[in-house]
């Protein structure tokens, strides 16, 4: 099964345009993690892009695509109809394929049932008021032309749709038929003619997801679901699709929609890339030097980077059983410094690879932990013994819970590090 991806810049500079993320850097991190995770499992991973996309993803970042097709330089499409570029890519395929969006990561290969299926989508969607409102915006234009099967499909209580973050299959003729339906809708309604008011309506979900669902239902085509269950259109929770701290534990991740603007998710994406593919992280950091000037030209750059990689693996300590935690060596981060006191709180700041410079407030317990570790690094079992001695008698009964929460906090913000010893 060939894996394909589409990166159409729509005339935007990938170093300046965020494509839905909080910053362009996270968009490139996402593309890097997506491509690299796919190449872990598949021999053929091809990219369909334009010259700007080729320059940044291939020439600058050197992502290991096996083949690149520069086909979108003359693509006649309004930028807000971005999903049409994916339809174009689907229409060009002559052999079985899976198209995987650049905000999807695969820690594990997809099961054979998916690879062998005639038609595949990420999952069926259950339309709610969100989809109804979307369709109402389209139908506000009385002269818009819809095929009869679409009109009939819209009369259903729940509008049919598929999430197509993952899409494809072995039934190439049917996929081509679907693509022609989309192109016909766009052409007949002049959706890419900016002189027509209706062309300004955002209808990506309709022409990509709804048309495919209604058209496949019309022809009684079974669509295999990667997820294995339907989802409410507004029900994609971050804990289910975006919890990158559990990267090795899940089949796939999809940072869809508004989750791209979640700073915590952005942070976990960055940490995952640092941990798994450090050389590619460095390449991305190098094209945004103003966001990394604190370390990138430092004489200690390599040491800072290695510390950041260790911080990015903090979940390995947090997620293991208590007895296994005792085998971890706990150290102060040497690149943390005291900044100021305010309202009886000490604020710390650390040199880091990330652009984010935030002061971290700590209390008396954290100060005690840092003071103990300043003498020497310790096994967690030893650190607990020394720390417990600083506790008031009335708090010792709650010690285990209190120290667990404090360690999680300090590790998350990189104030301390934890490294497992193998012996």
Asked if 198 and 141 touch (Cβ cutoff 8 Å), the reply is yes
User: Does residue 381 or residue 392 have the better pLDDT?
Assistant: 381
Residue matched to tokens 């970042």: 61
Tokens of 290: 């103003």
Please check the confidence at residue 94 and state whether its pLDDT lies above 80: yes
Q: List, in sequence order, every residue forming a beta bridge with 163; answer none if it has no partner.
A: 123
pLDDT band (50, 70, 90) for residue 362: very high
If you average pLDDT over residues 118-131, what whole number do you get? 86
Whole-angstrom Cα distance, residue 24 to residue 22?
7
- Specify which of 109-113, 138-142, 151-155 reaches the highest per-range mean pLDDT: 109-113
The three-point CA angle 277-122-116 to 5° equals 95
Whole-angstrom Cα distance, residue 96 to residue 223?
15
Please check the confidence at residue 142 and state whether its pLDDT lies above 80: no
Whole-angstrom Cα distance, residue 288 to residue 35?
20
Closest CA to 210 of 279, 292, 120, 126: 126
Mean pLDDT of all residues in the chain? 92
If you average pLDDT over residues 63-78, what whole number do you get? 97
Please check the confidence at residue 414 and state whether its pLDDT lies above 70: yes
Please check the confidence at residue 275 and state whether its pLDDT lies above 70: yes
Closest CA to 403 of 325, 310, 314, 324: 325
If you average pLDDT over residues 74-80, what whole number do you get? 95
Least confident residue range of 175-184, 230-239, 386-395? 230-239
Asked if 163 and 233 touch (Cβ cutoff 8 Å), the reply is no
Asked if 292 and 301 touch (Cβ cutoff 8 Å), the reply is no
Whole-angstrom Cα distance, residue 227 to residue 233?
14
Please check the confidence at residue 129 and state whether its pLDDT lies above 70: no
pLDDT in tens, 175-195: 999 999 999 999 999 999 988
Which positions ≥6 away from 159 have C-beta within 8 Å?
A: 127, 131, 132, 135, 153, 210
pTM: 0.92
In the chain, what are the domains? 2-264 (3.90.550), 302-420 (3.90.930)
pLDDT in tens, 313-341: 988 899 899 889 999 999 999 999 999 89
């Amino acid at each position: 099964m060939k894996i394909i991806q589409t990166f159409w810049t729509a005339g935007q500079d990938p170093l300046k345009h965020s494509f839905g993320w909080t910053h362009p850097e996270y968009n490139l991190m996402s593309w890097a993690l997506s491509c690299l995770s796919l190449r872990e499992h598949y021999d053929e991973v091809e990219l369909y892009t334009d010259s700007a996309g080729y320059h940044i993803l291939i020439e600058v970042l050197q992502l290991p695509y096996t083949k690149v097709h520069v086909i979108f330089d003359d693509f006649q499409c309004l930028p807000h109809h971005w999903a049409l570029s994916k339809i174009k890519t689907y229409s060009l395929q002559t052999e079985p394929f899976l198209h995987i969006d650049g905000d999807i990561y695969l820690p594990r290969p997809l099961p054979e049932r998916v690879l062998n299926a005639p038609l595949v989508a990420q999952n069926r969607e259950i339309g709610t008021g969100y989809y109804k409102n979307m369709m109402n915006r389209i139908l506000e234009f009385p002269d818009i032309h819809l095929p009869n099967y679409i009109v009939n499909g819209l009369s259903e209580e729940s509008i049919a749709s598929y999430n197509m973050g993952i899409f494809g299959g072995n039934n190439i003729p049917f996929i081509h038929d679907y693509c022609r339906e989309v192109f016909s809708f766009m052409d007949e309604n002049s959706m890419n003619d900016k002189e027509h008011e209706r062309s300004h309506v955002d209808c990506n979900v309709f022409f990509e997801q709804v048309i495919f669902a209604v058209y496949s239902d019309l022809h009684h085509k079974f669509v295999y679901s990667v997820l294995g269950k339907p989802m409410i259109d507004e029900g994609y929770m971050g804990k289910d699709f975006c919890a990158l701290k559990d990267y090795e534990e899940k089949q796939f991740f999809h940072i869809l929609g508004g989750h791209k603007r979640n700073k915590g998710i952005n942070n976990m994406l960055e940490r995952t890339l640092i941990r798994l593919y450090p050389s590619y992280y460095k390449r991305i950091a190098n094209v945004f030097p103003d966001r990394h000037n604190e370390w990138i030209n430092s004489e200690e750059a390599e040491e800072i980077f290695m510390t950041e990689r260790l911080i990015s693996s903090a979940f390995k300590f947090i997620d293991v059983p208590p007895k296994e935690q005792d085998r971890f060596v706990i150290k102060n981060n040497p690149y943390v410094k005291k900044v100021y006191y305010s309202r009886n709180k000490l604020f710390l700041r650390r040199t880091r690879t990330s652009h984010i410079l935030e002061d971290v407030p700590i209390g008396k317990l954290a100060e005690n932990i840092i003071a103990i570790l300043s003498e020497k690094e310790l096994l967690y079992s030893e650190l607990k013994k020394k720390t417990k001695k600083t506790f008031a008698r009335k708090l010792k009964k709650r010690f285990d819970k209190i120290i667990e929460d404090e360690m999680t906090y300090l590790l998350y913000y990189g104030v301390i590090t934890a490294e497992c010893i193998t012996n």
